Amino acid sequence: MYAITGITGKVGGVVAQSLLQAGQPVRAVVRDPAKGQAWASRGCEVALADMNDVPALTQAFMGAEAVFVLLPPHFDPSPGFTETHHLVASLRSVLLAARPQRVVCISTVGAQAQQQNLLSQLGLLEQGLGDLPLAVTFLRPAWFMENAAWDVAPARESGVIPSFLQPLDRAIPMVATADVGRTAAELLQTSWTGHRVVELEGPQRYSPNDIAACLARLLRTGVRAEAVPRQTWQACFSAQGMKNPEPRMRMLDGFNEGWLCFEHTARKGTVELEAVLQSLM
């Protein structure tokens, strides 16, 4: 049995679908029973657990051969990442109690960075689970191509996509969530011992200008990327309702300055940006 968290999201959904296609038994770990029904109808067991609920999550992982762990995304964390520290401590005790044979955790490109930024949450996850006496793989994907979902409406409406990634012609590693989910499913089905890191990017790197050009092709209209000046970010994110924009701004700095990067040679997925943008439209 493979217990899958985040199954109602982009990556977890692909992980579960890939395992089902391979004929593996899947337990869908959901926090909303209504969302479990779709997975029950595909033949999955369903377990109800919020990631913060230690007894329920332990029960959901109990008896599973392998588990897929996805830290819920948190774009506006408290200073000091209080929620992440709490969640990682909970996950640790859950995994120690349930003792699955294998664990695959979604981490991120740049999880090893020393500078504090939004991705430090995944660094804390790696550190917090890094000494468990279990076989643990941290899968570190690149920037998700699906982040370009934010660009589709402005491209359509104004032909300009505002970009926090700068300079506009600088390509960075990106990957489709379909590649991430398929890779996680493949890793869950292999055996290994101890802890390892697997890094993953798409077949090629893309810049904001590449995203604009691709959207222009698909929409058959002019689209260009425009850099959002660094000095306006704080006000811009605060206006969006963020209470603590600093980690997000530092993450963007990290990509722009190059210190959020892979530590080793990354594996390559197969899904191109154009296919992802097409599906987002």
Ligand X SMILES: NC(=O)c1ccc[n+]([C@@H]2O[C@H](COP(=O)([O-])OP(=O)(O)OC[C@H]3O[C@@H](n4cnc5c(N)ncnc54)[C@H](OP(=O)(O)O)[C@@H]3O)[C@@H](O)[C@H]2O)c1
Whether the upstream peptide bond of residue 25 has omega within 30° of 0, thus cis, is no
Alpha helices in 99-221 (DSSP H): 120-129, 149-158, 177-188, 208-219
Distances from the Cα of 50 to the Cαs of 28, 59, 72, 94, 189, in angstroms? 12, 11, 10, 12, 25
Count residues near ligand X (CB under 6 A): 25
3-state helix, strand, coil in the chain (%, to 5): 45, 20, 40
Whether the upstream peptide bond of residue 173 has omega within 30° of 0, thus cis, is no
Determine the interface stretch with ligand X among 1-9, 127-135, 161-169, 238-246 (rule: CB under 6 A). 1-9
Kindly state whether residue 35 participates in binding ligand X, applying the rule CB under 6 A: yes
Kindly state whether residue 128 participates in binding ligand X, applying the rule CB under 6 A: no
Tell the smallest beta-carbon distance from residue 260 to ligand X (Å). Answer: 10
Interface residue with ligand X among 106, 198, 215, 225 (CB under 6 A) is: 106
Kindly state whether residue 244 participates in binding ligand X, applying the rule CB under 6 A: no
Closest C-alpha to 136, from 106, 109, 164: 106
Q: Which residue is nearest to ligand X (CB)?
A: 9
CA 234 to chain centre: 24
The answer for residues whose C-beta is within 8 angstroms of residue 79's C-beta and 6 or more apart is 244
Q: Can you read off the two tokens belonging to residue 93?
A: 């005790």
Q: What is the dihedral of CA 60, 65, 66, 71, to 10 degrees?
A: 20
Kindly state whether residue 122 participates in binding ligand X, applying the rule CB under 6 A: yes
Interface residue with ligand X among 73, 79, 222, 258 (CB under 6 A) is: 73
Name which of 8 and 163 has its Cβ closer to ligand X. 8
Kindly state whether residue 86 participates in binding ligand X, applying the rule CB under 6 A: no
Name which of 35 and 156 has its Cβ closer to ligand X. 35
Kindly state whether residue 31 participates in binding ligand X, applying the rule CB under 6 A: yes
Name residues contacting ligand X, limited to 49-68 (CB under 6 A): 50-52
Kindly state whether residue 32 participates in binding ligand X, applying the rule CB under 6 A: yes
Name residues contacting ligand X, limited to 165-184 (CB under 6 A): 177
- Residue ranges that bind ligand X, judged by CB under 6 A: 6-12, 31-32, 35, 50-52, 70-73, 106, 108, 122, 141, 143-144, 147, 177
